[in-house]
Amino acid sequence: MRVNFISFSWVSIFVGGLFACSNAFADYCPPASTSFEHMLNAKVTFDKKSKVYTYHYSIKNLSQSIVPIDRMFVLLPDSPISIDSPTKHWSKYFYPKLEDEPARLYWSTSFTTAESKPALKPESQVGVPDEAIRPGQSLSGFSIKSKQPPSVVQYFVDGFQELPVAFGDENNSDPDLNCPNLDTESAILDSTVTGMTIGPTTPGTIPVRIRLRKKDGREHCGPMDPKKLSGEINVIVLPSKTFDPKKLDLESLRFGPSEVAALSSKFLPAKAHEKDRDGEGEEWERHAQEHSADDHNVLMLTFDLNALGIRCILDKALFLRGKTVDGKNILGGVTTKTVGCSAKMPGRRNDKDGKKK
């Protein structure tokens, strides 16, 4: 997580036209970088002559957001043919895989000419980037070119955050920061907002279609309140013309942000699966032209709902990962809808006690 902070042993501030000195200030805790609601839209075009796909993305920062959006990641195993940004002030990078971090494409903006206007203005405080996507604004022009066909990919979006400030006194010149709303412990990709979109297929990875169902395995799931999760939830893994769920290595399957194993699994006739409602299929499925296969069984995986680690604001999609019996990777995703959440109080990944999610 991007959390550095400023510390002072004492501070002079201007109050009511007079300078006053104090050694009893509360820490300044700015809104978390995840204090926003967003929409990411994707479009795919294909050039028949060059056989190259172009993936176009646009981001909308919704009006109820608190902070601007200033960076986005897309998990990709290899650098695409080309990467385009909306403007020259949105930088673009490709980071190859590291030991503990996946390969990813990265857009960010940090250029600023505007004067910073934080609640407190130490000289080292940073200003909002000029081209960050402010609440109520949209930005298009993010795109990549690849010869890989469309599939499901995971993306991450993060927002601008002012520097927190810790105040001490004459007995403590190096105060600790006390900002419970900020996640200062989690790795960067664990502490940002994540979702599912369309992107280039990862070679050697099979995209699979999944659906969420209630405990009986048939009834559709409605929106979830991450602060009140209990009971069990089922993930239905659907077959296609090119994929049979019976080829999965069941022991390898992990689901949700906490990547938990299933409590149980069983195969069911495809006709036992409750058919999709209108619009239930994910956008990537339509582009990838994934078709059902009623002559194969569906796989029903049962999970402890609370163990999944779903957090308010952070989790816009849930992902299923694992392998087939012959060693190929699989990736499936399902869009999530939540209730009881606010951009003013985003969840934190390192909450363990369930009091604040």
Chain segment 190-234, per-residue pLDDT in tens: 889 999 999 999 999 999 999 999 877 778 888 999 999 999 999
Domain co-membership, 193 together with 213: no
In the chain, % of residues over pLDDT 90: 61
Residue 217 lies in a domain: yes
Query: Where a domain ends, among 200, 228, 258?
Result: 200
**Residue 98: count of CB within 10 angstroms of its CB:** 8
Domain co-membership, 131 together with 234: no
Residue 19 lies in a domain: no
- Two structure tokens written together for 64: 């109820």
Domain co-membership, 269 together with 291: yes
Residue 170 lies in a domain: no
Q: Does the pLDDT of residue 178 top 90, yes or no?
A: no
List the one residue out of 303, 302, 322 whose CA is nearest residue 247: 322
Domain with residue 235: its CATH number is 2.60.40
Domain co-membership, 109 together with 39: yes
Domain co-membership, 89 together with 214: no
Residues whose CB is less than 8 angstroms from the CB of residue 40 and which lie 6 or more positions away in sequence, other chains included: 57, 58, 59, 60, 72, 155, 157, 195, 197
Torsion on CA atoms 327, 332, 212, 351, rounded to nearest 10: 90
Q: Does the pLDDT of residue 128 top 80, yes or no?
A: yes
Instruction: Kindly indicate the confidence band of residue 154, based on its pLDDT and cuts at 50, 70 and 90.
Output: very high
- Under 8 Å between Cβ of 183 and 1: yes
Residue 20 lies in a domain: no
Q: Does the pLDDT of residue 46 top 70, yes or no?
A: yes
Least confident of 27-41, 63-77, 132-146, 211-225: 211-225
Residue 7 lies in a domain: no
Q: Does the pLDDT of residue 16 top 70, yes or no?
A: no
Distance CA 214, CA 231 (A): 10
Q: Does the pLDDT of residue 136 top 70, yes or no?
A: yes
Distance CA 36, CA 346 (A): 8
Domain co-membership, 190 together with 234: no
- Under 8 Å between Cβ of 158 and 69: yes
For residue 84, what are the β-bridge partners?
143
pLDDT at 229: 93
Residue 10 lies in a domain: no
Instruction: Kindly indicate the confidence band of residue 63, based on its pLDDT and cuts at 50, 70 and 90.
Output: very high
Residue 22 lies in a domain: no
Domain co-membership, 146 together with 262: no
- Under 8 Å between Cβ of 284 and 43: no
Residue 76: domain span: 33-162+184-200
| Average pLDDT over every residue of 322-333 | 96
- Under 8 Å between Cβ of 123 and 8: no
Q: Does the pLDDT of residue 82 top 70, yes or no?
A: yes
Strands (E), the chain: 6-8, 11-15, 18-22, 38-47, 52-61, 69-75, 82-84, 91-95, 104-108, 138-146, 150-159, 165-167, 193-200, 205-213, 232-237, 254-255, 264-269, 297-304, 317-323, 329-335
Total structural domains in the chain? Answer: 2
Distance CA 4, CA 315 (A): 24
Distance CA 124, CA 160 (A): 15
Residue 314 lies in a domain: yes
Query: Where a domain ends, among 145, 173, 200?
Result: 200
**Residue 107: count of CB within 10 angstroms of its CB:** 22
Domain co-membership, 131 together with 270: no
Domain co-membership, 133 together with 220: no
3-state SS class at 72: strand
List the one residue out of 22, 184, 36, 31 whose CA is nearest residue 119: 31
List the one residue out of 78, 81, 80, 72 whose CA is nearest residue 102: 78
What DSSP letter does each residue of 2-25 carry, written as one string? ----EEES-EEEEETTEEEEES-P
pLDDT at 299: 95
Q: What angle do CA 249, 292, 299 make, to 5 degrees?
A: 30
Distance CA 194, CA 158 (A): 9
Under DSSP, the state recorded for 41 is E
Query: Where a domain ends, among 149, 174, 200?
Result: 200
Domain co-membership, 53 together with 157: yes
Distance CA 54, CA 199 (A): 9
Q: Does the pLDDT of residue 117 top 70, yes or no?
A: no
* 122 or 65, which is more confident: 65
Distance CA 272, CA 73 (A): 38
Domain co-membership, 42 together with 134: yes
| Average pLDDT over every residue of 123-146 | 89
Going by their DSSP bridges, the two strands 329-335 and 205-213 should be labelled as parallel
Q: Sign of torsion, CA 308 314 316 321? A: negative
pTM of the model: 0.86
Domain co-membership, 146 together with 234: no
List the one residue out of 168, 124, 201, 162 whose CA is nearest residue 3: 162
